[in-house]
Amino acid sequence: MKSPERLPSSFRDPSGIVFERDGTIYRQVNRLYQSDYRHLMDSGLYQTLTEQGQLLPHQEISDAEGLSDEALLVIRPERIPFISYPYEWSFSQLQDAALLTLALQERALRHEMILKDASAYNIQFRSGKPVLIDTLSFERYREGEPWVAYGQFCRHFLAPLALMHYVDIQLGHLLRVHLDGIPLPLASRLLPWRCRLRFGLLIHIHLHARAQLRHANSAATPTPKTKRLGKQAMLALIQSLQAAIRRMHWRPRGTEWAGYYQQTNYSDSAMTHKQEIVRSMLARTSDGPVWDLGANTGRYSRLATEIGREVVAFDVDPAAVEQHYLQARATAESSPLPLLQDLTNPSPALGWRNRERDRIEGRGRPQTVMALALIHHLAIANNTPLAEIAACFAEMAPELIIEFVPKSDSQVQRLLATRRDIFSTYNQQHFEEVFKGFYSIVAKEAVHESERTIYLMQRHAETG
Amino acid sequence: MAVFSCNSCAKWDSGAVNGRQETKWRENFKRKTAGKAPKFRRKGEQKRPVIAASDVFRKLHFEENPGSMNKKWSGRRSARKEHHGGEGTMNLSKIIIAVGVFFIASQSAMAYLDPGTGSYLFQALIAALLGSLLALKVFWHRVKNFVRAVFVKDAPGEGDEKS
Would you call A189 an interface residue with chain B, using a CB distance cutoff of 8 Å? no
Q: What is the largest CA-CA distance in chain A?
A: 77
Nearest CB to B124: which of A185, A207, A226?
A226
pLDDT value, residue A113: 95
Would you call A150 an interface residue with chain B, using a CB distance cutoff of 8 Å? yes
Q: For A181, name the nearest residue in chain B, comparing CA atoms only.
A: B115
- Decide if A150 and B125 are in contact by the 8 Å CB cutoff: no
Nearest CB to A229: which of B113, B124, B133?
B124
pLDDT value, residue A11: 81
DSSP labels, A68-112: STTEEEEEEEPPPS----GGGS-HHHHHHHHHHHHHHHHHHHHTT
CB atoms within 10 A of CB A287: 11
- Sort strands B16-17 and A368-371 into parallel, antiparallel or unpaired: unpaired
Pair A351, A444 in one domain: yes
Is residue B127 over pLDDT 60? yes
Tell me which residue range forms the domain holding A180. 86-247
Would you call B106 an interface residue with chain A, using a CB distance cutoff of 8 Å? no
Give the closest-approach CA distance of B148 to chain A in angstroms. 27
- Decide if A185 and B134 are in contact by the 8 Å CB cutoff: no
Distance CA A305, CA A376 (A): 26
- Decide if B124 and A147 are in contact by the 8 Å CB cutoff: no
Distance CA B69, CA A300 (A): 93
Pair A186, A273 in one domain: no
DSSP labels, A156-187: IIIHHHHHHHHT-GGGGGHHHH-TT---HHHH
The dihedral sign for the CA sequence A383, A387, A389, A395? negative
Pair A311, A383 in one domain: yes
Distance CA A171, CA A91 (A): 11
**Domain regions of chain B by residue span:** 10-111, 115-160
Contact A334, A347 (CB under 8 A): no
- B85 backbone dihedrals φ, ψ, rounded to 5°: -110, 0
Distance CA A240, CA A244 (A): 6
pLDDT value, residue A214: 84
Q: For B133, name the nearest residue in chain A, comparing CA atoms only.
A: A236
The total domain count for chain A is 3
pLDDT value, residue A66: 79
Quick: pLDDT tens for A181-213. 999 999 999 999 999 999 999 999 999 999 888
pLDDT value, residue A360: 93
Pair A410, A268 in one domain: yes
Inside any domain, residue A56: yes
pLDDT value, residue B21: 52
Pair A300, A282 in one domain: yes
Contacts of residue B117 in chain A, CB cutoff 8 Å?
Answer: 215-216, 218, 220, 222
Distance CA A18, CA A64 (A): 13
pLDDT in tens, chain A (464 residues): 567 888 888 888 888 889 988 888 999 999 899 999 999 999 999 999 999 999 999 999 877 777 888 888 999 999 999 999 999 999 999 999 999 999 999 999 999 999 999 999 999 999 889 999 999 999 999 888 888 899 999 999 999 999 999 999 999 999 999 999 999 999 999 999 999 999 999 999 999 999 888 887 666 555 555 557 888 899 999 999 999 999 999 887 655 555 555 556 677 888 999 999 999 999 999 999 999 999 999 999 999 999 999 999 999 999 999 999 998 888 866 789 999 999 999 999 999 999 999 999 999 999 999 999 999 999 998 989 999 999 999 999 999 999 999 988 888 888 888 888 888 889 999 999 999 999 999 999 999 988 899 999 999 986 44
Would you call A282 an interface residue with chain B, using a CB distance cutoff of 8 Å? no
Inside any domain, residue A254: no
Q: pTM of the predicted model, to two decimals? A: 0.77
- Decide if A207 and B108 are in contact by the 8 Å CB cutoff: no
Is residue B160 over pLDDT 50? no
The mean pLDDT of B15-43, rounded to a whole number, is 59
Inside any domain, residue A175: yes
Q: For B108, name the nearest residue in chain A, comparing CA atoms only.
A: A217
Mean pLDDT of chain B: 57
Inside any domain, residue A253: no
Quick: pLDDT tens for A297-344. 999 999 999 999 999 999 999 999 999 999 888 886 678 999 999 999
CB-side neighbour CA atoms (13 Å) of A457: 31
Q: For B111, name the nearest residue in chain A, comparing CA atoms only.
A: A216
Would you call A236 an interface residue with chain B, using a CB distance cutoff of 8 Å? yes
Contacts of residue A155 in chain B, CB cutoff 8 Å?
Answer: 115
Residues 132-161 of B with CB under 8 A from A: 133-135
Q: For B138, name the nearest residue in chain A, comparing CA atoms only.
A: A236
Nearest CB to A216: which of B114, B125, B130?
B114
Contacts of residue B120 in chain A, CB cutoff 8 Å?
Answer: 146, 148, 151, 222, 227
- Name the β-bridge partners of A457: A400, A441
**DSSP label of A251:** -
> Where does residue B25 rank: exposed (0-12), middle (13-18), buried (19+ CB within 10 A)?
middle
Pair A389, A350 in one domain: yes
- Taking CB atoms and an 8 Å cut-off, how many pairs form between chains A and B? 96
Would you call B119 an interface residue with chain A, using a CB distance cutoff of 8 Å? yes
- Decide if B115 and A184 are in contact by the 8 Å CB cutoff: yes
Nearest CB to A215: which of B118, B126, B135?
B118
- Sort strands A311-315 and A337-340 into parallel, antiparallel or unpaired: parallel
Contacts of residue B116 in chain A, CB cutoff 8 Å?
Answer: 151
Question: Which of A77, A96, A125 lies at the terminal end of a domain, its last residue?
Answer: A77
Would you call A348 an interface residue with chain B, using a CB distance cutoff of 8 Å? no
Inside any domain, residue A265: yes
Question: Which of A52, A77, A102 lies at the terminal end of a domain, its last residue?
Answer: A77
Q: For B128, name the nearest residue in chain A, comparing CA atoms only.
A: A233
